[in-house]
Structure 1
Amino acid sequence: MFDKATKGDLLGFPRDFLWGAATASYQVEGGAAEGGRGPSIWDIFSGQEGKIHDGKTGAVACDHFHRYSEDVALMAELGLPAYRFSVAWPRVMPDGRTVSQEGLDYYRRLVDELCDKNIEPVLTLYHWDLPQALEDQGGWRSRRIVECFTNYAMAVHDALGDRVRQWTTINEPFCSAFLGYGAGIHAPGHTDPEAALVAAHHHLLAHGTALRALRSRAREGQQFSIALNFSPALADGYGPRYAEAARKFDGLHNRFFLDPVLGKGYPSDVLEDVAHVGGLAEAIQDGDLETIAGTIDWLGVNYYAPTRVKPLDDPHAPSNCPLPGLRGMDVLPPRPPLTGFGWEQTPSSLTELLRWLNWHTGGIPLIVAENGAAFEDKIDAEGRIRDDERTNYIAEHLRAVHSAIEGGADVRGYLVWSLLDNFEWSMGYSQRFGIVHVDFETQRRTVKDSALFYRDVIARNAVPSGR
């Protein structure tokens, strides 16, 4: 673990670097049946037998809906300058279309509390909890979702635009589209590769349409972004076949979502990879790519781990990777050291990713909007949680961010995932990512050593360079 008085030099970050922590509405809020909130696709999905690891749901989660004031006070105690949270669409529009002032009032109170504590609200409009009423009408498979999302974005902006400066349209459309509509391991649980590609396009189109509408009402100083999850492809060998395997994975996981946002359109190589699936070409209408290409002020970079890949002997053989249309390559098991989730710890991949993004985007400012690790927490006799593994993970990845900045990448912030232990989607409550421990029976919060370390890093705006 890293002492407060840490050995070695300190790596200084820019003085205006944005530090903070992140959560998502369904993972922390609870209050599922309160305030007129309608059911989301995750309420329905998690209520189905066998869908969630421990059979639990996010109906209560961290009870952030009732305990937001306590949690904001905790953020202030830890010296967090920013809090990234998401708005629950079914709380604001229970049927996906009709505004609930009662739902908006909750976020007004939350934002007011943050502002009173001088904590910057970083608002995400969509973190996967689609109103079930809209899913019943086709969800992200239907082009009608674009108008619905834009109207929702406008309603939230009308309510909070006078106090919120940082706006993110959609978080990780990759997961929402490919895992929810293709792999079936996330809500709404469909296993249709064609639907996954169509849903992905509609996510990006909704982002672009809403972004343009938001800019039409933007207030001075407001900034707009999208948050994409990246997993660098590491080929498990050398030569053209291994490079081709990495290209295929990188294309569908990373460039498929990034390039249209940058105004480059869908990568031609990826379109060829998925042409046999169908659906996407028909979904793209005239003007769509121009709409998606609306300028963002910064790119949210969500990073947890790289993915190791290898080629198959048959380039047309189906892959073990659940992404739609991938053929001729397989994903390999990660290499130790692993997190409690079984994810590989390779901080250097984050450095390389940020440098590549700086080049590929033409220098668009980057904010690491999510980065963190799940480990099994151990509470000692004094009630202290000495989560050395998580502390080390955060420190190593902060060094990786610093290295990218030193290499010229315009990285302007780091938001740790997550503030609180929470409902971790299909893994239920079995994985703890929080820098604050939550006892889900009593809802008691306990600050972990990783939070104390992060607090000290923020206070001195630096990170130790060595052990």
Structure 2
Amino acid sequence: MDHTEPAGAGDTLQDFGPVPAGWVWGTATAAHQIEGGNVGNDWWDWEHTPGSGTRESSGDACDSWHRWFEDLELVKAIGLDAYRFSLEWSRIEPAEGEFSIAALEHYRAILLAAHELGLRASVTLHHFTTPRWMAAQGGWSNPLVVERFQRFADIAAQHLGDQIDMAATLNEPNVVAHAGYIGGQFPPGRPHDWEGFRQASRHLLLGHLAAREALRAGPGDFPVGLTLALPDTVLHADGDLTSPGERVTDLRPDGPRGELGWLTAGQYLDAARDDDYIGVQTYFTEHVGPDGAELPLPSGERVTQMGWPFTPEALGASVRVAAEVARVPVIVTENGVAAAEDAERIEYYSRSLRSLRAAMDDGVDVRGFFAWSLLDNFEWALGFEPTFGLVEVDPVSFARSSKPSAAWLGGLARASRGAHV
């Protein structure tokens, strides 16, 4: 395992270089992590289930259900030009077949205000949360969910499509399935349930295909894709973390990671060939042994607040894999770091963006970058302790305070717009 950094990697990146016409510099959020009061979904139930392992309730989160315009103003003030957010399915369809016009109008107001501020709006239909009524019927393990998700996508498209600039059907469906049915950290919390994992993976893929068609049916004309958790994976056939290892690029069922690699990445990248883009979300490099299991990090390895290895250059590797397999443009829909010290955040972004630039210079078709996240927010099972945000949020007053990393990233974005390639 190579612990060395590229020359100059510790220096703050001052110039990303010119970006292609149409490029987006944005930042991302998710409804359940920032809105507060999302009591109608499976995650709210999970947070309040004894033994689930979730540290705390999302509660009021960042109160963005009420403070969304302030959040948009922050994106604009930072100097970015796009905002990625998700629709909370359980607010729009609180009971099966019952749709809330008020909730749809709430999200429409966000879209309209974003455009008034000169921001492009990227909308995600499903970011980890499923309505309680659907979860009670088996959630993503029930084939019925495909039709129900398609119906939700159709309702959202009919009401909002004319104002959407970019859409993702699903955020990290591979995490929804794996963490729910293999790891057990997400609802429904069924660890080592391989059959449930296979079923959920199949229905998530079918759900994407169905929702994609609903979104494309209009109104509106915008790129549609999905986002994928895609760590840079290095295989050590000898099980020795200190050996050079081989980067995994073959994600077919008979590839080095077998069925797991196919269900968590390969099948989605293949499906993305008919999408308008593939959303890549990379945070670290993982090292696996011959059985596919992740190798433990050596003592003293630098890690983030999430316990993930501090390996920003993983981004450059993963966009290359995504582009090679999916054969469509890449948008980095999430990248960032949970760090107590903001200087680490700037270092992380500097290094990840250098690796992204190198991939682009080698011909990888990348169309944008969204920083995760705009706000310090509810980080699922780990609660509010990990801080990914460009903006700090007071847990009592909900007052927002931009960090130096926000000004730094905004400056980088502004400088890149001086010329196009």
**TM-score normalised per structure 1:** 0.79
Q: Which runs of 4+ in 1 moved over 6 A?
A: 5-9, 239-249
Deviation digits for residues 98-137 of structure 1, max 9, x if unmatched? 2111111210111121111111110000011100111111
> Residues 245 and 154 (structure 1 numbering): CA distance in 2 closer, same or farther, change over 3 Å?
closer
Taking the aligned partners of 2:22 and 2:181, their CA distance within structure 1 comes to 39
After TM superposition, the structure 1 = structure 2 runs for residues 24-423 of structure 1, keeping only pairs within 5 Å, are: 24-32=30-38, 39-54=40-55, 56-191=56-191, 192-220=193-221, 222-236=222-236, 250-252=257-259, 254-261=261-268, 263=270, 295-311=274-290, 328-334=291-297, 336-362=301-327, 364-377=328-341, 387-423=342-378
> Residues 92 and 25 (structure 1 numbering): CA distance in 2 closer, same or farther, change over 3 Å?
same
> Residues 216 and 32 (structure 1 numbering): CA distance in 2 closer, same or farther, change over 3 Å?
closer
1:343 Cα deviation from its structure 2 partner? 1.2
* One-letter identity of the residue aligned with 1:368: V
Taking the aligned partners of 1:163 and 1:216, their CA distance within structure 2 comes to 14
* One-letter identity of the residue aligned with 1:144: L
Q: Which residues of structure 1 form unaligned runs of 5+?
A: 34-38, 264-291, 312-327, 378-386
1:71 Cα deviation from its structure 2 partner? 1.1
1:344 Cα deviation from its structure 2 partner? 1.4
1:82 Cα deviation from its structure 2 partner? 0.4
Taking the aligned partners of 2:84 and 2:269, their CA distance within structure 1 comes to 23
Taking the aligned partners of 2:13 and 2:133, their CA distance within structure 1 comes to 56
1:370 Cα deviation from its structure 2 partner? 0.5
> Residues 298 and 254 (structure 1 numbering): CA distance in 2 closer, same or farther, change over 3 Å?
farther
Between Structure 1 and Structure 2, how many residues are aligned?
399
| 8 Å CA contact retained: 1:97, 1:152 | no
Deviation digits for residues 409-447 of structure 1, max 9, x if unmatched? 001110000000000000011111101011112211111
* One-letter identity of the residue aligned with 2:277: W
| 8 Å CA contact retained: 1:307, 1:334 | no
1:334 Cα deviation from its structure 2 partner? 3.5
Taking the aligned partners of 1:64 and 1:346, their CA distance within structure 2 comes to 31
Deviation digits for residues 223-258 of structure 1, max 9, x if unmatched? 100101111221346699976999777455554354
Taking the aligned partners of 2:361 and 2:399, their CA distance within structure 1 comes to 40
* One-letter identity of the residue aligned with 1:446: S
When Rg is computed on C-alpha atoms for both structures, the one with the higher figure is 1
Taking the aligned partners of 2:106 and 2:392, their CA distance within structure 1 comes to 24
> Residues 244 and 27 (structure 1 numbering): CA distance in 2 closer, same or farther, change over 3 Å?
closer
Any idea what SS the aligned residue of 2:370 has? strand
| 8 Å CA contact retained: 2:33, 2:61 | yes
| 8 Å CA contact retained: 1:236, 1:308 | yes
Identity of aligned residues (%): 33
> Residues 71 and 42 (structure 1 numbering): CA distance in 2 closer, same or farther, change over 3 Å?
same
Deviation digits for residues 17-48 of structure 1, max 9, x if unmatched? 21000011100011335xxxxx1000100011
* One-letter identity of the residue aligned with 2:224: F
> Residues 450 and 9 (structure 1 numbering): CA distance in 2 closer, same or farther, change over 3 Å?
closer
* One-letter identity of the residue aligned with 1:309: V
Any idea what SS the aligned residue of 1:415 has? strand
Taking the aligned partners of 1:186 and 1:239, their CA distance within structure 2 comes to 29
Any idea what SS the aligned residue of 2:347 has? helix
> Residues 6 and 201 (structure 1 numbering): CA distance in 2 closer, same or farther, change over 3 Å?
closer
Q: Which residues of structure 2 form unaligned runs of 5+?
A: 1-7
* One-letter identity of the residue aligned with 1:374: A
